[in-house]
């Protein structure tokens, strides 16, 4: 087998362990000699692959201590309408979503104003946590006007995702506006995001429309150590 092929296979094997969450941030990567024995490859091949992973942000090397997993921040372009599921799939990141709440309730004044409905109208409240490579990275609070999507169910969102469910109901968002800022998070949000010594995170507020009618108001609270927004200019 060609040297380049061996290097690529080993590189992809290590990258897969990181992206799948098998190796978590801070985990020490086995020593070069150990990796050579496990994969029956040369030390040069191991060093080249680890160097490439270090350059890409997946590995950090500490002099005298070895190499450690360093989860690369997830990048999101702001020039297009996106969903978190699509973003994970595009970047090859193993992900999971857990629904904490799915309720039909009376909307408060702020929620109804954001959805452009009458105060006190009923809304769906969906609270989810998104995981990337087994790490909780965002807590999401979504509100939908009940009158627009009365038939949406928890099972639909669990199985297909929010936007795919809205599309099935002929209410797929066609455009959206977002406001992004840093905020101080609550103790509950710290717990959900598994943050002990961090008090701030990124808040993203989205108002999405389906054919000029507001269909979604979502607030995301995202760890600032795993997420990077990018904007293409010019």
Q: Report strand pairing: 122-132 vs 95-106.
A: antiparallel
Statement: residue 61 has pLDDT above 70: yes
What is the reported pLDDT for 1? 43
Of 204, 216, 139, give the one whose Cα is nearest residue 172: 216
* Average pLDDT value for residue range 119-125: 96
| Across 66-70, 153-157, 202-206, 229-233, least confident range | 229-233
Phi, psi of 155 (to 5 degrees): -60, -40
Q: Regarding the domain with residue range 74-230, which homologous superfamily does it belong to in the CATH classification?
A: Chorismate lyase-like (3.40.1410.10)
> What are the b/e assignments for 167-200, b being 16+ CB within 10 Å?
eeeebbbeeeeeeeeeeebeeebbebbebeeeee
Q: Are 197 and 45 in contact (CB under 8 A)?
A: no
Where in the chain do CATH 1.10.10.10 domains reside? 3-69
Partners of 106 in beta bridges: 122
Number of CB atoms found within 10 A of residue 107's CB:
23
What is the reported pLDDT for 4? 65
- Alpha-carbon distance of 117 to 74, in angstroms, equals 34
CA separation, residue 178 to residues 54, 66, 93, 120, 147 (Å)? 33, 41, 24, 24, 23
Per the model's pLDDT, the better-predicted residue between 228 and 43 turns out to be 43
Mean pLDDT of the chain: 89
Top mean-pLDDT range of 25-29, 130-134, 180-184: 180-184
DSSP string for 153-176: -HHHHHHH-HHHHHHHTT----EE
Where in the chain do CATH 3.40.1410.10 domains reside? 74-230
What is the chain's percent helix, strand, coil content, to nearest 5?
Answer: 30, 35, 35
pLDDT-derived band at 3 (thresholds 50, 70, 90) equals low
What is the reported pLDDT for 89? 80
pLDDT-derived band at 228 (thresholds 50, 70, 90) equals confident
Q: How far apart are the first and last CA of the chain?
A: 45
How confident is the model over 101-113, as pLDDT tens digits?
999 999 999 999 9
Per the model's pLDDT, the better-predicted residue between 220 and 88 turns out to be 220
What is the reported pLDDT for 134? 79
* Average pLDDT value for residue range 172-197: 93
* Average pLDDT value for residue range 87-108: 89
pTM over 0.85: no
CATH second-level architecture of 3-69? Orthogonal Bundle (1.10)
Q: What is the CA radius of gyration of the chain?
A: 21
Statement: residue 181 has pLDDT above 90: yes
Q: Are 25 and 70 in contact (CB under 8 A)?
A: yes
pLDDT-derived band at 197 (thresholds 50, 70, 90) equals confident
Per the model's pLDDT, the better-predicted residue between 96 and 2 turns out to be 96
């Amino acid at each position: 087998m060609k040297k380049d092929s061996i290097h690529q296979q080993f590189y992809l094997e290590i990258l897969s362990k990181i992206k799948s969450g098998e190796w978590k941030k801070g985990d020490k990567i086995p020593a070069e000699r150990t990796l050579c024995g496990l994969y029956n490859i040369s030390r040069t091949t191991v060093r080249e692959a680890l160097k490439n992973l270090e350059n890409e942000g997946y590995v950090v090397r500490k002099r005298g201590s070895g190499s450690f997993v360093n989860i690369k921040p997830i990048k999101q372009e702001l020039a297009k309408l996106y969903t978190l599921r699509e973003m994970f799939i595009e970047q090859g990141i193993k992900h999971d979503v857990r629904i904490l709440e799915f309720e039909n309730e009376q909307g408060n004044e702020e929620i109804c104003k954001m959805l452009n409905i009458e105060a006190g109208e009923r809304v769906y409240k969906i609270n989810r946590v998104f995981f990337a490579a087994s790490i909780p990275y965002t807590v999401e609070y979504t509100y939908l006007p009940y009158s627009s999507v009365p038939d949406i169910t928890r099972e639909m969102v669990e199985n297909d995702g929010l936007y795919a469910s809205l599309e099935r109901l002929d209410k797929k968002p066609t455009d959206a506006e977002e406001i992004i800022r840093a905020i101080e998070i609550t103790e509950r949000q710290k717990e959900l995001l598994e943050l002990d010594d961090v008090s701030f995170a990124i808040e993203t507020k989205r108002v999405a429309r389906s054919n000029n009618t507001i269909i979604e108001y979502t607030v995301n609270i995202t760890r600032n150590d795993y997420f990077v927004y990018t904007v293409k200019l010019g």
